[in-house]
Amino acid sequence: MKRDLVSLADWSAEEIWGILELAAHLKREQRAGARHDHLLRGKTLAMIFQKPSLRTRVSFEVGMWQLGGYALYLGPEDIKLGKRESVEDVALNLSRYVDGIMARVFGHEVVEELARFATVPVINGLSDLLHPCQALADMLTIWEKKRRLEGLILAFIGDGNNVANSLIEACAKLGLHFRIACPEGHEPNPRIVEEARAQGAQVAILRDPKEAAKNADILYTDVWTSMGQEAEAEIRRKKFQGYTVDMDLLSLAKPDCLVMHCLPAHYGEEITYEAARSKNSVIFDQAENRLHAQKAVLAILLR
């Protein structure tokens, strides 16, 4: 029976740990010179992109190559998903050609529809609602640096966007406490917050970044204006004044606090260059771990 990665809510804590442990194993072995090109030899991944990408495209494409498979890039103008052809028909056609589908899209319903109709595994490479692959890379990074996850405090400063939503789901599964400081009207998805709290997770929605940062183990931020929201950029810059991760905010967290950002960064807005390059920063470790976490997902779903 095929399995999809649309949301981390669909995966148990044990299954998520399985992804993290395999990712750590593949990363360790690769650094020791081992090759894993036997794992997905002869397999093909279709990569559907409605949004431009650096980390998602390169990490999935390189990951498939390192596992012995092939990744096929399908850009916004290649298939015009949902315009030239219905999502259902795209899913059914691709299922006859490839062994898996990764989609980086705007509407979350597009990923859900692809998963519903495809007969091969579908991976959510990003939607406006969720970014599970980023959250997996983040959990891998935190685990590597802290050697544990349960009981840690993750403070997210900024917009309650797709990354924040997936981090809430990951924290709920793996036992981290989640705080977000955001302006009114920019809270994470209420259904996701409610479901996380129903699982016993601590999810705090705050207005004051200083309150969120106090004694935090992780300070996390993301751009104030996501792709597709460009018309709101100036309004958002005004609303998010005071929500910048800088050295003053970092001083309120624990001394060994990790500074995290899923990139791309707008230095001087959601984070200062100084904080992004501080000894606490693990931003580029996160970026690297997109590769390793996604290789684990691919190996589990496509084998």
Say whether 229 is catalytic. Answer: no
What is the mean pLDDT of the segment spanning 258-279? 98
pLDDT digits 0-9 by tens, 122-174: 999 999 999 999 999 999 999 999 999 999 999 999 999 999 999 999 999 99
Q: Where are the alpha helices (DSSP H) in the chain?
A: 13-31, 55-66, 76-79, 87-97, 108-117, 132-146, 162-174, 190-198, 209-213, 233-239, 247-250, 273-276, 283-302
Write down the catalytic residue from 222, 236, 257, 292. Answer: 222
Determine the Cα–Cα distance for residues 217 and 143; give it in Å rounded to an integer. 12
Query: Do residues 118 and 91 make contact, with C-beta atoms less than 8 angstroms apart?
Result: yes
- The two most distant CA atoms of the chain are separated, in Å, by 54
pTM: 0.97
Degrees, nearest 5: CA angle 75-105-149:
120
Q: Which domains does the chain have, with CATH numbers?
A: 8-131+290-302 (3.40.50.1370), 134-286 (3.40.50.1370)
Say whether 186 is catalytic. Answer: no
* Closest to 294 measured CA to CA, from 50, 157, 88, 100: 100
Say whether 257 is catalytic. Answer: no
What is the mean pLDDT of the segment spanning 85-103? 96
Q: How far is CA 263 from CA 22, 191, 244, 276, in A?
A: 24, 26, 15, 11
Q: Where are the alpha helices (DSSP H) in 85-131?
A: 87-97, 108-117
Say whether 222 is catalytic. Answer: yes
pLDDT digits 0-9 by tens, 206-254: 999 999 999 999 999 999 987 666 778 788 999 999 999 999 999 999 9
Write down the catalytic residue from 55, 108, 131, 261. Answer: 131
Say whether 277 is catalytic. Answer: no
Say whether 236 is catalytic. Answer: no
